[in-house]
Structure 1
Amino acid sequence: MTQPSEPASASTASIGALAALLAERTGQQLSSSRTWRIDVALKPLVAECGLATIEQLVQRWRADKDAAMGERIVDALLNQETSFFRDPGIIDTFAEAVLTRGKGGLRLWSAGCAFGQEPLSLAMAFAERGATAEVIATDVSPGALARARTSRYSQFEIQRGLPVTRMLRWFEQAGSDWVAVPALRAHISYRRHNLATDPPPPGRFDAILCRNVLFYLAPVLRTQILSRLADAMRPGGLLMLGAGETVIGLSNRFVPSARFRGFYELAPVRACQSSLGSATASG
């Protein structure tokens, strides 16, 4: 029996069209070092649509002006790499830092939550410290959010970052999968949100996690997003970015935290105004 052939790699023209689609819908830039992901990410969609090549997928999307197909392509191209308590110790350290503000009435925003491991990690970290925190979890991908809302994970996914004690405390086995207990899920609400275009969710937050999202964006867009994040924070709020991300050179609304290493604090209004005044004077 003849096996189906692998979809051919995308041409330069198709790569350009796909990169433009991704940037238009999400603001993410598909750099030359990341174009290899196109073949890997789109092969399942090519097969599902009964097509032979990525070229044919692009041609169908463009010829039919199919908005739903465009959304599915973007969804596939997004990097949803995540795990529980990603980067050892950082979620627990973040929880300890936020808890200096008190143990009740805390509001957290997990921006770019992917499949939900980050907001669930936050809920676990705070609950284990006897604190209550409302977690708003957002993502631009409807597919990722649909999975996140189930709070259901494979054995492989559940073991990434979760020791057995946490796994057994906060998850129940469902066949070969594991599902978060209702008491944990009750603290999280999921909603679709595009960091590049949408205003922040309503209300103010004590802390925001926006990890490993900004480095896919152009500098001008990073600055705009950081400004929106600052607008969404309560005074003295904490911001956590990814290990390779920074606010330096992009925003004066945040400053490196002197109290909590590796995090950023919302700068006092006076400091922001002083910085802006200095810039105006020098101009």
Structure 2
Amino acid sequence: MNDSGLNTSDMTHEVLAQLLAERTGQDLSPSRRWRVETALSALLRESDASTIDELVAKLTSPFGCPLSSRVADALLNNETYFFRDQQVFEVLAKSALPRLIAQRQDKRRLSIWCVGCSTGQEPLSLSMLLAERAAMLDGWQINIVATDVSHRAIDVARRGLYTPFEAQRGLGIDRMIRWFEEVDGRWKVSPRLLKPIRYQQHNALHAPPSGGPFDLVLCRNVLLYFDQATRQQVFSQIASSLADDGMLLLGAGETPVGQTARFTPAKDLTGFYRLGIPEARTEQLVATGISARG
């Protein structure tokens, strides 16, 4: 035990939590600590460290900076698969996308931002939905900006090459055959699906990527890892990027209700949100002590 009253393990988790928060804004909560050793196991071998404590000691050395980035990247949860949460994509296909397409008939342009795109399955799922409606979108400009804070995940997404297990998760055989080609035991996505997607390493806490205003923003299972103040910052950045009549789609366990007035639930689309009170107006209401909802 040291002078601070923390044992080595506690100190190690504090260093890792601070590193993750500084580089990504995410919170390394106690519920996430169980996977630290598994997440960092490859880096332990590569850095010639026998324990997590030894690895963290290397982070505090003058030569720790490049390793710090890799450690933060490894701690991120990049769980994803094609058409994750099938019901959400059914709503997108049957309601949300047709509505947006109808609203954009004059511009014939559709811009979508996927926040936390991980290794690319979500934007590729969207690209499939749109490609399968090619007749409806003939002559349209389709732009999908897909971002993630993880360099490693973005590199995988750009390659568009997946293991059989990754390709089969969420995809039926018809879509695999139509949109993928088997190459040396892996499945490579069709260039047609990749064409409208621009992958970019980006932190959701920072100013939105170019390509807006966006008609649709998907930010699913990203906010779960932020504290309330950080979530409010992300909501503000997304709101600044969204078209006035655009929509935000969140994950099943996420909501802006009670956290920000920047978004309000879409009345007829579960999980979708529209712009609420502008930030300047919200600040004015707070300053005068008036409820932003009233």
- TM-score, normalised to structure 2, is 0.87
CA distance in 2, matches of 1:107, 1:59: 45
Query: What runs of 5+ residues in structure 2 fail to find an aligned partner?
Result: 1-7
Paired AA for residue 247 in structure 2: L
The 5-angstrom pairing of residues 95-114 of structure 1 reads 95=93, 96-102=95-101, 104-114=108-118
The 5-angstrom pairing of residues 144-163 of structure 1 reads 144-163=153-172
CA distance in 2, matches of 1:222, 1:92: 27
Query: What runs of 5+ residues in structure 1 fail to find an aligned partner?
Result: 1-9
| 1:201 paired to 2:209 | yes
1:26/1:194 contact within 8 Å kept = yes
Picking from 12, 18, 29, the partner of 1:14 is 12
Matched with 2:32 is: 34
Matched with 2:249 is: 240
CA distance in 1, matches of 2:87, 2:132: 14
Relative to structure 2, which stretch is displaced further, 122-131 or 150-159? 122-131
Deviations along 1:209-246, one digit per CA (max 9) or x if unpaired, are 01111111111111111011011011111111111110
Deviations along 1:56-105, one digit per CA (max 9) or x if unpaired, are 11111212342110000001000000000000131232243133122631
**1:265 to partner: Cα distance:** 1.3
CA distance in 1, matches of 2:270, 2:33: 34
1:235/1:268 contact within 8 Å kept = no
The 5-angstrom pairing of residues 45-60 of structure 1 reads 45-60=43-58
What SS does structure 1 have at the residue aligned with 2:67?
helix
Deviations along 1:126-171, one digit per CA (max 9) or x if unpaired, are 1112235310000111111000000110100011000111111111
Relative to structure 2, which stretch is displaced further, 258-267 or 156-165? 258-267
Give the length in aligned residue pairs: 271
Matched with 1:3 is: none
CA distance in 2, matches of 1:79, 1:90: 21
CA RMSD, aligned part only?
Answer: 1.8
CA distance in 2, matches of 1:149, 1:56: 33
